[in-house]
Structure 1
Amino acid sequence: MLLSRPIRFGANYVPSAGWFHSWLDPSPDTYRRDFEDLAGIGLDHVRVFPVWPWIQPNRALIRRRGVDDVLALIDVAAEFGLSVAVDLLQGHLSSFDFLPSWVLTWHRRSVFTDRDVRDGIAAYADTLTRAVASRDNVFAVTLGNEVNNLHPANPTTPQESRSWAAELIDVVRAAAPGLLALHSLYDATWYDPGHPFHPADNVDLGDLTTVHSWVFNGVSEIDGPLGPATVTHADYLVELAAATALDPARPVWLQEIGVPLPDVPGADAAEFVRRTLGAVTANPALWGVTWWCSHDLDRSLADYPEREYDLGLFTVDHRPKPAAKELEAVIGEVRRAAGTGRATGTGRIAGTGRIAGTGRIAGAGRAAGGRRALRCPVDLRTQPERRAEVAPGGPFHTEWVRLRQAGPLAVVAGDRADDAPHLRTRGIDVVVTQE
């Protein structure tokens, strides 16, 4: 099944000056220079990260100035034809966690289970969502960046974490029924059998599934920076998500992907971009790709892991890096193959359905049919305790990578291998089993 909207291409916005601390001293001129960089290579959207404690420093206080600063950034993005996705709770950004003081020290209480805290978060989510929904170039609100990173300091159970996320999704939908409401998690959700955020949460909650692909999770150690396991990891995550969803047409947003040092040396960055995007843009489930991140981190700032400083598409003085140049080239090729120009729509929801368009396109290798699939012995929906069996380097992943080298390869969960409508919707003609 093909849908009409083109693949979206964007960047997770890290300001070139001041990192996310720039929210304390916002500069529209910096935004303009940064967004000029991004629009110049053909990107159509940015994902932005207001820092929660700086807008809601007290459970009963939401700073109007902080909200207005977010709107000002969104308005500058519009000047460059960029649509915007807004994250609410910054669980984890470049190795730093962000929590307000009213859940710390002698106030310590869980963001997931304490009723007063949950009510405070809901008020924040409602206020900020209603504000950003007033801007036509906003298309999505995500609960937060990798909120499952908050789990170690805020112990929770699968039932509690799901209830927390479902409640906030409802808040966002009520505040802005025309926007995509999303739940964002990093890949422990897919691979860690003990993690309290489950794959089913990611594919059931919100309007599409998001995945974050980072090859420093051990994938690059399997076969090197340009090996088949490394450059197909993003495609593998998209397939796990598509295989886990009850709705076989549910889109998947590759919401984070980057070129981390030293896992991918600088000399291999451009080729990593080309091979990775060549694999994942052929996937008919793909909604969009959002690169991490827009700009490098200034080395005058201290205490970040070394790899965080060099993840940008652009340097802090606005020079495009090899990854940016290759990304620009790939975007052009994908759009020419699809017969589309730059995606300028907002992605807002129209009519009675939740999704106005999934971002799928014909062409560019995104086949509607004729795909092979590898049958997965694990149903991640119902067997999250078996997640380690699909982790990179395991027998299933190894077989998938081997077969993937011959062309696009889907993943299908056990009992769905005989579900003809499911297979037909996903364009799967042949299902093979693991040797």
Structure 2
Amino acid sequence: MITNARTQSTRRFRLGANYVPSDGWFYSWLDFSADAARRDLEDLASIGLDHVRVFPVWPWIQPNRALLRQRPIDDLLTLIDVAAEFDLGVAVDLLQGHLSSFDFLPSWILTWHQSSIFTDRTARDGISEYVRRISTEVATRPNVFAITLGNEVNNLWPANPTTPAASHQWATELLDVVRAAAPDALHLHSVFDDAWYAPDHPFHPAEAVELGDLTTVHSWVFNGTSRIDGPLGPATTSHADYLLELAASSAPDANRPVWLQEVGVPRPDVPAEQAGEFVARTLATVAGNPALWGVTWWASHDIDRRLTDFPDREYDLGLFTVDHRPKPAALALAEFARDTAAHAAARVRPALVAPINPLREPTRRAEIAPGSAFHQEWVKARQTEPTAIVTPDRATDEGYLAARGLGPLR
């Protein structure tokens, strides 16, 4: 039976998938079918997953700032109920926002209304009403364990100018709205890895590790990591663990959990014939990290190639094909789900001292980006044994080092 959201949120480890509908991608929200969703979620339950992350499309629910449509909200609630049939928990993302390399924004912030969703007060008030309504509605379902503001909202900033202070305040305000509307769910903020690696990016690591109930990270090796040592090289297969360590080492709270909320096997960076091995090695690398709260694979299903204009790598990221056949990635994930002993965390690990604390010196983020001297040093150390990261300002803090279970510093 599904337990309540608070019980679910405190489980030691979760394993799930980001739900991409097999029939019609997210356009399927326009004519939602519970039976089609049921067939998709049956696939995921069959390989031992315990949750899905789902993505209602913002402008289709709030096409006008003053109009929140009940029908798509009811469709979302139906999807959540279908998930419960398979004992699947549900994490709901609110502002889509950005999906599979497309941006979705309502007309009331475009054309002659053009404004930044992060800085314009009228736009922010409209978003707040959307966040309040959806959070209130989904909180009625006991299998909803988390609500994230949106999927990689920092992808929207080029068309929505912002500053670090404004984006931080935007997320803070909206998380307060979620917390009031859905007090029993985890309240989360999601950014992609430019927030960790790009020196001039207006979203900073502080947003990831200071806001929300836990930190989320998204690991994609097409960011240049796969070019360091190839599809199955140690830099490529340890990138997810590297992000986990950057997040754990940067967090003010030494015990703050980290959710690997997105990780996938993109082509051509990882050829199809090496996909299963990439999944197995990536999961084996992160499994012993004591900060790891859970893993959610991107994505549940492929995108039908009859749909046009997606970047080529987006079509084949699914665990299952559009006709519900499990792919090597699904089989590797299923094996990991069965091997619960693999999730035991190491007690004491050596740690490598980073050149910076990215919270304090975000303009130096390039010094910890993939391919940097520090990253290469960490990858080399990681090949011998699991290696933590500690920021220089905490390298002599014995209480902190003990709290994270860190041994000798390098």
Question: Is 1:172–2:150 an aligned residue pair?
Answer: no
The question of whether the paired residues in 2 share the 8 Å contact of 1:91 and 1:148 is answered with: no
Q: Which residue of 2 aligns with 1:191?
A: 197
The question of whether the paired residues in 1 share the 8 Å contact of 2:349 and 2:406 is answered with: yes
Larger RCO of the pair (alpha carbons < 8 Å, separation 6+): 1
Q: Which residue of 1 aligns with 2:382?
A: 404
Secondary structure at 1:268 match in 2: helix
Q: Which residue of 2 aligns with 1:379?
A: 357
Q: Which residue of 2 aligns with 1:224?
A: 230
Q: Which residue of 1 aligns with 2:62?
A: 56
Quote the Cα distance in structure 1 between the aligned partners of 2:207 and 2:34.
37
Q: Which residue of 2 aligns with 1:423?
A: 401
Quote the Cα distance in structure 2 between the aligned partners of 1:145 and 1:5.
23
The question of whether the paired residues in 1 share the 8 Å contact of 2:32 and 2:75 is answered with: yes
Q: Which residue of 2 aligns with 1:255?
A: 261
Q: CA deviation at 1:367?
A: 1.4
Q: Which residue of 2 aligns with 1:356?
A: none
Aligned length in residues: 402
Q: CA deviation at 1:92?
A: 1.1
Q: CA deviation at 1:60?
A: 0.5
Secondary structure at 1:405 match in 2: helix
Quote the Cα distance in structure 2 between the aligned partners of 1:153 and 1:372.
43
Q: CA deviation at 1:216?
A: 0.2
Q: CA deviation at 1:91?
A: 2.2
Residue 98 (structure 1) aligned to one of 82, 100, 104: 104
Question: Is 1:141–2:147 an aligned residue pair?
Answer: yes
Q: What residue ranges of structure 2 are gaps of 5+ in the alignment?
A: 1-8
Q: Give structure 1 regions of 4+ aligned residues with deviation exceeding 4 angstroms.
A: none
Report the CA distance shift for 1:87/1:4 in structure 2 as closer, same or farther (over 3 A).
closer
The question of whether the paired residues in 1 share the 8 Å contact of 2:57 and 2:97 is answered with: no
Quote the Cα distance in structure 2 between the aligned partners of 1:422 and 1:200.
19
Quote the Cα distance in structure 1 between the aligned partners of 2:275 and 2:72.
37
Residue 119 (structure 2) aligned to one of 113, 120, 125: 113
Residue 221 (structure 2) aligned to one of 199, 215, 227: 215
The question of whether the paired residues in 2 share the 8 Å contact of 1:141 and 1:182 is answered with: yes
Q: Percent identity?
A: 67
Secondary structure at 1:303 match in 2: coil
Q: CA deviation at 1:5?
A: 3.1
Residue 367 (structure 2) aligned to one of 389, 396, 419: 389
Quote the Cα distance in structure 1 between the aligned partners of 2:406 and 2:11.
21
The question of whether the paired residues in 1 share the 8 Å contact of 2:215 and 2:259 is answered with: yes
Q: CA deviation at 1:429?
A: 1.4
Amino acid at match of 1:383: E
Q: CA deviation at 1:419?
A: 1.1
Quote the Cα distance in structure 2 between the aligned partners of 1:328 and 1:422.
36
Q: Which residue of 2 aligns with 1:355?
A: none
Instruction: String of CA shifts for 1:394-426, please: whole Å, max 9, x gaps.
Output: 100000000000111000000111111211111
Q: What residue ranges of structure 1 are gaps of 5+ in the alignment?
A: 338-362
The question of whether the paired residues in 1 share the 8 Å contact of 2:58 and 2:97 is answered with: no
Secondary structure at 2:228 match in 1: helix
Residue 287 (structure 1) aligned to one of 289, 293, 299: 293
Q: CA deviation at 1:365?
A: 4.2
Q: TM-score, normalised by structure 1?
A: 0.91
Quote the Cα distance in structure 1 between the aligned partners of 2:11 and 2:296.
16
The question of whether the paired residues in 2 share the 8 Å contact of 1:372 and 1:409 is answered with: yes
Q: CA deviation at 1:64?
A: 1.0
Secondary structure at 1:151 match in 2: helix
Q: TM-score, normalised by structure 2?
A: 0.97
Quote the Cα distance in structure 1 between the aligned partners of 2:299 and 2:241.
19
Quote the Cα distance in structure 2 between the aligned partners of 1:319 and 1:425.
44
Quote the Cα distance in structure 2 between the aligned partners of 1:24 and 1:31.
13
Q: CA deviation at 1:84?
A: 0.2
- Aligned-residue RMSD, C-alpha: 1.0
Quote the Cα distance in structure 1 between the aligned partners of 2:334 and 2:318.
14
